[in-house]
Structure 1
Amino acid sequence: DPETNELLHTKLEPTRTNVLAHAFFSELREKHDVDDAVFLVDGATPLKDACNRHGLDFRYEKHGNRNSVERVFREVKRRTNAFSNCFSHAEAETADEWLKSFAFAWNQLI
């Protein structure tokens, strides 16, 4: 959420595909009412396709609010990389659980 910097949903995946993006938005919609939200997306086709498939509004934004989202994303990515460096042999499920725990802690501290 660009207004609060809250992480609404996290999912660690090795790549971006239409199927994974669709699953991500399905899980997000189960947890939150996002029907009136406008999603700020980068040039990734799977994100645009998933938004269209779910009937969600989206806007390609290179600067502006997307910059604040990118700052949070960069921090999450930095910490995920640090986790990966320390626990390089962790299973994907363990890393995903760590990311969920990190998101919970992040949301408590913001």
Structure 2
Amino acid sequence: MPKIARLNGSIDQIDLEFVEREATPRFLMKLSIQLHLAGLSLSNTVSILEIFGVERARSTVHNWVHKADLQPEDGQSPDHVAVDETVIRLNDEQYWLYAAVDPKANKLLHTKLEPTRTSVISRAFFAELREKHDVDDAVFLIDGAPQLKDACSRHGLDFRYERHGNRNSVERVFREVKRRTSSFSNCFSNANADTADDWLRSFSFAWNQLI
């Protein structure tokens, strides 16, 4: 029952203000968005719609997901924040996914996809995180990457090195993102960086609702 309640709650939070003229019932649009973000491929999501007598292209569901502009809720106040970066393949190019996770709640706080990793980019990520959430008194858990240490120091944030323990929460997120991007080639193939960044924010929304 709790998982069903979270699913219903996340569907209610999906805003369809972008819809002008759409023949698909709004509940089915929201269900399609949620199912895809929860792990269903676009092809299988379209098959679910067909059960309800609605035929839509995979690209249509893909557009619904991106136009919904979903992202994690702002204003969180975690005691600890696990921060890390990992390589993401976008077509034939390498990008870096930055992620901040509340390890106690196992919820994503912020993500950002960048073409490289530098101290300047890391500082900007932390600046965005501080704008979205109340994290100035939190302890940041990092793995010793110099650019993350520099960003914490520049922002005057308390941090400590931790390779396991509470940092496992961000590793679980990375594993799921990589599983999705490798299993569902239609996610990041033939997509630009802005589209991928968009999808990652939407994924963060769904992750927080369904964990």
Is residue 11–residue 96 contact of structure 1 (8 Å, CA) maintained in 2? Answer: yes
- Normalising by structure 1, we get a TM-score of 0.89
- Aligned match of 1:31 in 129, 132, 142? 132
The question of 1:78 aligning with 2:182 is answered no
Instruction: Structure 2: give runs of 5+ residues left out of the alignment.
Output: 1-101
RMSD: 1.5
Aligned residues: 109
Contact map agreement 1:80 1:99 (CA 8 A) in 2: no
1:93 to 194, 206, 209: 194
Asked if 1:104 corresponds to 2:191, the answer is no
SS for the counterpart of 2:160 is: strand
Q: Give distance in 2, aligned partners of 1:6 and 1:52.
A: 24
**More strand, by proportion:** 2
Higher helix share: 1
Aligned residue for 1:10, secondary structure, equals: strand
Q: Shift of the alpha carbon at 1:74?
A: 2.1
Once the two structures are superposed, what CA deviation does each residue of 1:36-64 show, in whole Å capped at 9, x if it has no partner?
11111012111010000001111101222
Identify the range of structure 1 (13-22 vs 23-32) with the bigger mean alpha-carbon deviation.
13-22
Which one has the largest radius of gyration? 2
Structure with the bigger RCO (C-alpha within 8 Å, sep 6+) is: 1
Residue aligning to 2:151: 50
Percent identity over paired residues: 79
Q: Distance in 2 between matches of 1:60 and 1:80?
A: 29
Give the ranges of 4+ consecutive aligned residues of structure 1 lying more than 6 Å apart after TM superposition: none
CA drift of 1:67 comes to 2.3
